[in-house]
Amino acid sequence: MSTRRVLIDAGNTRLKWALTEGERWHAHGSLDYSDLSALAPLLAKADASYIASVARAQHENLITRLLAPGVVTPIWLQAEARFLDLRNSYDNPRQLGVDRWMGLIGARQRTQAATLVVSVGTAMTVDALSTEGVFLGGLIVPGRAMMQQALRQGTARVADVAGAWQDFPRTTADAVESGIVAALCGTIQQQHARLAEMAGGSPHCFLTGGDAETLLPHLSVAVEHVPALVLEGVDRVAKEGKTE
């Protein structure tokens, strides 16, 4: 009988999950930390649970309560120096966010080409992967909501009003939204150009995270939107029998 696995990607603002068995994904979705009750019946069906968490301590405590004795014992993952042909070049490999590491693992399963892995969430990370499977390094910048918050707190006349993208904004709200999108897209495009120069050709680019769709229409480089990329990495680690 195949092992049923609950995979969890616990982010800063939301939790993503999937129920898998062998090569099959039975179901997947996302939950707000205010109500994780939908996880309980999934865990009751599982033989194993693998968690990649960058969540706050109080949110991890909520997950732990659902994984009380009598329910499947969770395996809390972390970044490592190596996974199969993937090498983590961080000075301290364990310091790399586990969500970023799982995203790199997920990307490596999809292509052996030089790759840019972009996660657009509370923060945006832009990570470069060589054709040889070496994680070259990456950037972390504030995400869309954090940039909005910073502008509203740090300036006197930026109100909490939703704006929309405009090539040449003529309202403050539109100027804020357009400026943020341009800044995030510019970061991606600059790193794409740097990796292309190093790799000698255009790298593949995967885009994931809650605000990925906001950037998609505005990027000048080709990208592939993979909403569950981190969970794909968790699933790959689970299939290799990671136990600690």
- List, by residue number, the catalytic residues: 99
d(CA 216, CA 225): 8
Nearest Cα residue to 186 out of 226, 147, 129, 136: 147
178: tokens are 């357009």
Nearest Cα residue to 172 out of 148, 139, 205: 148
Helix (H) or strand (E) holding 142: strand 134-142
Helix (H, G, I), strand (E, B) or coil at 208: strand
At residue 140's C-alpha, the angle toward residues 138 and 145, to 5°, is 150
What phi and psi values does residue 202 have, to the nearest 5 degrees? -70, 125
What phi and psi values does residue 101 have, to the nearest 5 degrees? -65, -45
CA distances to 159, 166, 182 from 170, rounded to whole Å, are 15, 8, 16
- The secondary structure of 51-88 as a DSSP string is EEE---HHHHHHHHHHT-BTBPPEEE----SEETTEEE
